[in-house]
Chain A
Amino acid sequence: MDLSFIGNDEVTLHEKRFASVRDLLPPYGVIGYIDDNSGQTVARFKEYFLTQYTVAPVVLADPNFSGTDSEFLMREDVLIISNVHHSTPDSRIFTDRHVTLLKDFGNGLQLYRSERR
């Protein structure tokens, strides 16, 4: 019997991918979240929520979705998770904001901290 499906569901895999990021996050509070999914797609929505589920009780603020202050990611001293699917991080992160890379986890995930302009 093939039992290889055990532990390979999308939520578990997502949690494994984000495990090292979670260790560096504060115990609670709000942090930023950006990704390179385009538009208000189901894929973006799903990844945002899988990440939110993983990092809870930290709240993920994504300006693409309602309920989030669009200026939040522009504030100083905000941690930002970048979730990209391409080999190079999204250049918008650097052009739109003043951020410092805290850690590149090497699997499309980076953790940044916003700084004073």
Chain B
Amino acid sequence: MIFLILLALLIPVMIGFNSISVIWRDRPSIRMLLVMKSCLAVGLGFGISSCISFVSLVVFGELAPGSIIETALLIVLMITLVYTFKGRNDSPDLASYGYNVPVAPSKTPWSLAIGFWTALVLALVTALFLALKSPHGIGWDAWTIWNLRARFLFRGGAHWTDAAAIFWVKPDYPLLIPATIAQAWTYLGNDTVIIPVLVAMLFTFATVGLTVSSLSIFRSKSQGYLGGLILLGTPFFIKHGMSQYADVPLGFFFLATMVLFTLHERARKATPGLLTLTGMAAGFSAWIKNEGLLFLVAAIASHGAVIIALKGWKTYLRQMLSFALGLLPVLIIIAYFKITLAPSNDLLSGQDFQGTLGRLTDLSRYWVVFKAFVRGSFYFGEWYHLIGIPPILGVYLLGVGVKTNAEDRLPTLYALLVLSLTLTGYFLVYVATPHDLLWHLRYSLDRLLLQLWPSFIFTYLLIVGRPDPVSLPTEHA
């Protein structure tokens, strides 16, 4: 049984890994950046799997053909991969992306490494405990929305859309998580709770892995460990990651979008495949939760603003073509879902011109939301009765200062712009909400901040100085 469970999840992850390797094809080695690619494979694989499941449900009215399509796709990808990389020198080579500047011997990386691995073990034990304590998820949304919809997809057959008849089930929410779970259940032939638990766990720890591996490449190993430590030292991140809600998986795709874009900008030769993967990751963020649509708009706008300003229209159009290649298939699926199956979102259907205008011109609402954002950020992380993590990061920034690599200026600007636009979007959604404002803030703000948390840590550590004593030659204060 355990073997079958692992296989049910390994198939989509392998599809993700092979897709990354095939799309990002001009690499000398499959093994190169293995940890980063494996972490990306979790999210992209689940994203691809959920799209196949959705198409299978729409076309055939059941999930079984999805399993056949997935297996066939995996075989095709593996053959393509073998063909593509046949005869190539299989040595991991980082030189074409970053730089390997020797760091003077220091105890800092070791202490950080020990701290990180200890925190990782503790987080895994905590995650296991939480999974055993609440296998159906922590909090109502796990079983009133996400797992309930997965059950409808798996158990309902041709009646999978009946879930829309239930109030509160949020039938307008996209299907990445429920379809991923339901497809894995289809491989197994039963709806064991282990699958949603493992999906939650994989997304949570893949986010940690992606943070550590990307920062290790772009800055230094110690900066990578520091990023991992900050994430693992955020109790709310681990607890909510295991809650089986969609906020941590959404945060994964936000981070994946930024990491892939940064990787593209750091490459010394053109790698359009990386932009295709960036588009795919951004698209999946909109296929997991409605907030992802806002992020997608922010990502496209930021990409345009940064590239046009710094590299010109020609480069932008060329880049956008590669980006769209990854985004469009996902966008078509989202559009089909939204147009034919999803009712109007409660935040949109509750709007009318007079009401919305009244709320948007009411300055007191801006003040209420602003206060909530400041307070939420200050105490973010669930360090109960203590100061939150962001203020500590602020103090750390004052201590080590701003030190960016010249090569990271553009991606850092992009990441800052995406974060700012998304945060501004969230802010305005609260101001315009037709729901009771305080109720809405109380029950969702911490989760929205959590969605941005991994991307924030990534961007923050691209900007601040490194904890190890040696600075790179290209670092500028």
A residues bordering B, Cβ < 8 Å?
3, 5-6, 9, 11-12, 27-30, 46, 49-50, 52-53, 56-57, 59-60, 65-68
Contacts and interface: CB of A to CB of B under 8 A. Distances in A.
Contacts of A11: 134-137, 143
Nearest to B152: A57
B346 to A, nearest CB: 12
Contact of A67 (B135, B143, B167): B167
A12 B142 CA distance: 13
A7 to B, nearest CB: 8
A5 B163 CA distance: 31
Contact of A66 (B147, B151, B160, B167): B167
B165 interface: yes
Interface string B148-180: 100110011101101101111000000000000
B144 interface: yes
Contacts of A50: 143
A46 B160 contact: no
B143 A53 contact: yes
Contacts of A12: 135-136
B148 A56 contact: yes
Which A-B residue pairs are the 3 nearest by beta carbons? A67-B167, A57-B156, A11-B136
Nearest to B150: A56
Contact of B140 (A6, A29, A49): A49
A9 B167 contact: no
Given A28-B159, A57-B159, A9 B134 contact: yes
B34 interface: no
B68 interface: no
A49 B165 contact: no
Interface in B95-149: 132-137, 140, 143-144, 147-148
A56 B163 contact: yes
Contacts of B162: 28, 57, 59
Nearest to A5: B133
Interface of B: 132-137, 140, 143-144, 147-148, 151-152, 155-157, 159-160, 162-163, 165-168
Nearest to B144: A49
B151 A57 contact: yes
B429 to A, nearest CB: 23
A9 B166 contact: no
Contacts of B156: 28, 56-57
Contact of B166 (A5, A27, A28, A52): A52
Contact of A53 (B132, B135, B144, B159): B144
A46 B168 CA distance: 12
Nearest to A8: B133
A56 B136 contact: no
Nearest to B169: A52
Nearest to A30: B165
B179 to A, nearest CB: 15
A18 B167 CA distance: 21
A49 B135 contact: no
A65 B165 CA distance: 12
Nearest to B191: A56
Contacts of B147: 53
A70 B108 CA distance: 67
A56 B134 contact: no
B168 A49 contact: yes
15 contacts: A3-B132, A5-B132, A9-B134, A9-B135, A27-B155, A28-B157, A49-B140, A49-B143, A49-B144, A56-B152, A56-B163, A57-B151, A57-B160, A59-B162, A67-B167
Given A11-B134, A12-B136, 8 more contacts: A3-B132, A5-B133, A9-B133, A53-B136, A56-B156, A56-B163, A59-B165, A68-B167
Contacts of A65: 167-168
Contact of B148 (A3, A30, A46, A52): A52
A16 B366 CA distance: 48
A64 B407 CA distance: 60
A65 B148 CA distance: 18
B148 A53 contact: yes
A73 B139 CA distance: 30
Which of B147, B157, B163, B168 has the most CB atoms of chain A within a 10 A radius of its CB? B168
A19 to B, nearest CB: 14
Contacts of A67: 165-167
A70 to B, nearest CB: 13
Which of B133, B157, B166, B168 has the most CB atoms of chain A within a 10 A radius of its CB? B166
Nearest to B167: A67
Contacts of A59: 162-163, 165-166
Contacts of B136: 9, 11-12, 53
Contacts of B148: 49, 52-53, 56
A52 B156 CA distance: 13
A11 B144 CA distance: 11
A55 to B, nearest CB: 9
Contacts of A52: 144, 148, 166
A53 B151 contact: yes
B155 A57 contact: yes
Given A56-B151, A56-B163, A57-B163, A46 B140 contact: yes
